[in-house]
Structure 1
Amino acid sequence: MIKPPTQATTINGHGRPRKSWRRGRLAVVTGLVTVLAATTLAQATPASASRTATPHLPRPTGSQPVGTISLHLKDTSRPDPWVPAVKYRELMVSLWYPARSPGRERAQYMTAKESELLLKDGGITGIPSDTLSRTRTNAFTDARPAGRKHSLPLVVLSPGHSKPRSELTGLAEELASRGYVVAAIDHTYENVATTFPDGRVTTCVTCEIAKERGWWVKLEKSRAADVSFVLDQLTGKHPKWKSARLIDTSKIAMAGHSAGGASTVTAMLQDSRLRAGIDLDGTVESEVPASGLSRPFLLLGKPATYTPGKGEAAASWERVWTGLNGWKRWLLMTGAVHLSFTDLGVLADQIGLEVGADIAGVRATDITRRYVTAFFDQHLRDKPQSLLDQPSARYPEITFCAPEEKTCA
């Protein structure tokens, strides 16, 4: 049985606590960090009838098998921004890529220890501590990469604050099955648990820090530096991935969820290699300069937070929108909650928790994948996508917003 919430707090899309009558971070078993860092749920209750024995990610819809590998990277040019005693920035990065054929070894979603720490941090009881580590993925660790030299676009993914890079695995698998290389970053000390090859597990130093707008701006800038470093390591003269020659360095983009989405704006402003970007339900604190950002950008979020004219978070998107001088869209997904844009909405449904969404996790995942893929296909592969031009009968949950007029339809 899941222990009921006992304290008062809900948490907005950027990870900042707000007063409420329930403790939102206990809302989702697999939300663990998701709810801890970013959901607006008031409570969650078991829905045992919908439980499945083994959590699993929806299969990707592309035509190619998916391979994956993890990289351990060290940036010796700068100290860690959160633990200054550590004189270098150390990161774990997962890569997904199209493969020649399926392998035999499926990738683990996360380690048993990571699952244990995340569940404990969320106050979740009554389920095995390794529940999340048993999630079935669709990528293989022994699959050989496929593709011609310099033929594959690269997409960088950044998760929400306090959340692991694994929360975006389903999206990464989808993109890889459609011919993209995808790099998801664990931003060290910003996540409840990151495991390194030598067995060390770092925890969330930033979760204990009192936060105000200036702190979030620092976080966004720090993540932008992480992204630029990872791009250096994948596309420089001595790349850390032996198959990096497959990457087309003229076709690089970024997407992120929550704080990761907010950081996408800053990363694009700081690194011109990023040709397009997506913010998935993330409040942006950094300012877009007067010169603006002329590269394509997609804002995709939930109506409760990001309807134009409806509060502080929406106002942050309005500031960004004004500074976007190129192709841009502001889309909202009816029925979504904060975790709906990640794997965690799907996994919560499978485990049997009601998390407050009016859209099924698998449906939200399908929609997120479809619009994200359409965006990158259009702006990295020059394949026009009518889906991005007007509402679709196939996806009636998506509304197009005109922030100048404070309307969505």
Structure 2
Amino acid sequence: MTETIVGLGVSPLEIPVLLGAVALVLARWLPAGARGPVTLAGAAAVVPAGAALIALGVRWQLVPVLAGAAIALLFAVPPLLRRRTGRPTRRAPWWLALPGSAACLGLVAAGAGAAWMFPRPVFPEPSGRYAVGTTVLQWTDPDRPETATSDPDDRRTVVVQLWYPARKSPADAERAQYLGRTAQEAHVVSRGVAGYLGIPGFLLDDAPRARTHSVFDAAVADGGGRFPLVLFSPGLGGVRTQNTAWAEELASRGYVVAALDHPYDSAVVTLADGRTVRTRIRATGDPAEDERLAAGWTAVRAGDLSFALTQLGRLDRGEIPGSLTGRLDTGRAAATGHSLGGAAALQAARQDPRFAAVINLDGFPRDPDPQPFHQPALALTPPVDPGENPDYIPRLTQVLTLSTAAGYRITVPGAAHLTFTDAPLYLPPVPALVGSSGRTAGPRLTAAASAAFLDATLRSKPGDLATLLSAYGRLTVHPAGKEPGAGESARPDPAPDAARSGEPVPAGAHRLR
């Protein structure tokens, strides 16, 4: 099926069904001379397009539209056929036809609204000079036990998806499916994420059917040089693919992005042996206990990031076979993450000096013993209401000012917690949920700001970084070594009007960032 049109949520094949259904319903109320042509035009649009949709697989959003169109056909076409054969026509009285027409229009409107609220994601075209390849790896750390299970022999395993600069693939090369390596895995992940969020699984059924701009196992780009690394940890319960648009944009600009699934934390992880591991994280509702638990989860994730960097070094040296051997610059690596993953990135940078930079996408720092670290740091946040979240900005400021390099915080106007992920591409455009900047603006801005920061810190690209970053929102700079309270950013963000969604958690659970 063709991709949906950004902003409408329907594909070109679905548009004739929508328009034809409306025409069939309204034909009953037109003058006699126009009634026949409009009915024929509506039927000519609905029947072939509807048959094609049924053959290709109807999205759940279009089921009400097809039902409304079918009902309208049953009442609109027979009178037209009788007239053409010379038989007397019988029309339902207006008082009976009016509620029927309203019901049909209601079905069509409900389907169109559902398609707009839950569209199939259309990923922004990467703007860099490289095509993008992707591959999935699985690594087990023999030195770390798996604390989420009771098996003393169980060792910590992570699933890592790489997006990397690639040669241009043939035009007919199949693009990678969103959320998984296979249709089955993508569907399992989609249902797992929906279950974690506490919403019916079918609402996200379009997401795993989307295609990205990557090609699985595409040939690595020519040139022989090494690419800087960007390691990414998703949000609490998040999955490795939750920032695919961001990862593809960075890969097209010459970075290798390594995004992690954290088993027993991510909503659902499919392992190489076919096992499906679901989250075991549960909030208690006790703020003090949840703070302690979150610190533990963050520490595990920070360890996962460092382990993944070690494995990428082995991959570069050829100790792990792969097409990226000799192409990974582990000396230029950034720890990044969203929400709890952003907190893990900050902690990983503090604990592991191999990381050269850190990006935190709206994550509340969870390190119980924050210490100075040497990496430049970037934090992206929505406007924060101090009355709703009084500790967030002061805590983030405290950590950023501990860096011996400069720290940058961008307050992004109109953003929400999920603005910095792929969520605006396929979740309802509710400002409190995904922000108010539209379907693609949030992912594009997140990638552009990240790229500007990474170009300066990992590639030493010339230019004033503060000036570049100020283009993406209200910038606060924490000069190296400045103590909390000594600058303009040691107070809570004064913007009181922005909604905060908090970290997605199971229904009824205490919200954690």
Q: Could you say which residue in structure 2 is the equivalent of 1:347?
A: 426
CA distance in 2, matches of 1:212, 1:233: 31
- The runs of 5 or more residues in structure 1 that have no matched partner are 1-45
- Cα offset for 1:133? 0.9
- What are the residue-to-residue correspondences of 1:2-13 with 2, within 5 Å? none
Question: Alignment partner of 1:212: what SS?
Answer: helix
- Cα offset for 1:157? 0.6
Residues 374, 385 of structure 1: 8 Å contact kept = no
Question: Alignment partner of 1:107: what SS?
Answer: coil
Q: Could you say which residue in structure 2 is the equivalent of 1:261?
A: 342
Moved over 6 A (4+): 307-310
Q: Could you say which residue in structure 1 is the equivalent of 2:213?
A: 138
Q: Could you say which residue in structure 2 is the equivalent of 1:296?
A: 376
Range moving further from structure 2, 376-385 or 148-157 = 148-157
Question: Alignment partner of 1:136: what SS?
Answer: coil
Name the amino acid aligned to 1:382: S
Residues 166, 221 of structure 2: 8 Å contact kept = yes
Output the aligned Cα RMSD.
Answer: 2.7
1:292-333 C-alpha deviation (Å, 9 max, x unpaired): 11211011111125x799611112102202312212111111
CA distance in 1, matches of 2:375, 2:259: 21
User: Which of 276, 282, 289 is the matching residue for 2:363?
Assistant: 282
1:158-199 C-alpha deviation (Å, 9 max, x unpaired): 100101111111111011000111100001100111111222
1:337 aligns with 2:433: no
Residues 309, 315 of structure 1: 8 Å contact kept = no
1:178 aligns with 2:256: no
Q: Could you say which residue in structure 1 is the equivalent of 2:20?
A: none
Name the amino acid aligned to 1:314: I
User: Which of 160, 183, 190 is the matching residue for 2:235?
Assistant: 160
State the structure with more CA Rg.
2
1:194 aligns with 2:280: no
CA distance in 2, matches of 1:154, 1:102: 23
Name the amino acid aligned to 2:460: D
1:107 aligns with 2:176: yes
CA distance in 1, matches of 2:350, 2:119: 45
1:348-399 C-alpha deviation (Å, 9 max, x unpaired): 15xx66654222231111111110000000001111344633675x64xx11
Question: Alignment partner of 2:394: what SS?
Answer: helix
Residues 105, 142 of structure 1: 8 Å contact kept = no
Residues 194, 201 of structure 2: 8 Å contact kept = no
Q: Could you say which residue in structure 1 is the equivalent of 2:193?
A: 118
Name the amino acid aligned to 2:125: R
1:64 aligns with 2:130: yes
Name the amino acid aligned to 1:95: L
Question: Alignment partner of 2:326: what SS?
Answer: helix
Q: Could you say which residue in structure 2 is the equivalent of 1:403?
A: 489
CA distance in 1, matches of 2:132, 2:189: 23
Residues 430, 436 of structure 2: 8 Å contact kept = no
Identity fraction in percent: 32
Query: Comparing both structures, which one devotes a greater share of its residues to strand?
Result: 1
Count of residue pairs brought into register by the alignment: 357
- Cα offset for 1:222? 0.9
Instruction: Give TM-score, length-normalised by structure 1.
Output: 0.80
- Cα offset for 1:56? 2.0
Q: Could you say which residue in structure 2 is the equivalent of 1:42?
A: none
Residues 158, 186 of structure 1: 8 Å contact kept = yes
Name the amino acid aligned to 1:73: W
Q: Could you say which residue in structure 2 is the equivalent of 1:322?
A: 401
Name the amino acid aligned to 2:330: T
Residues 276, 296 of structure 1: 8 Å contact kept = yes
Name the amino acid aligned to 1:244: T
- Cα offset for 1:75? 1.1
- The runs of 5 or more residues in structure 2 that have no matched partner are 1-111, 180-185, 477-487, 496-513
CA distance in 2, matches of 1:98, 1:177: 6
Question: Alignment partner of 1:284: what SS?
Answer: coil
Q: Could you say which residue in structure 1 is the equivalent of 2:147?
A: 81
- Cα offset for 1:406? 5.7
Q: Could you say which residue in structure 2 is the equivalent of 1:41?
A: none
Range moving further from structure 2, 218-227 or 67-76 = 218-227
Residues 298, 329 of structure 1: 8 Å contact kept = yes
CA distance in 2, matches of 1:72, 1:266: 23
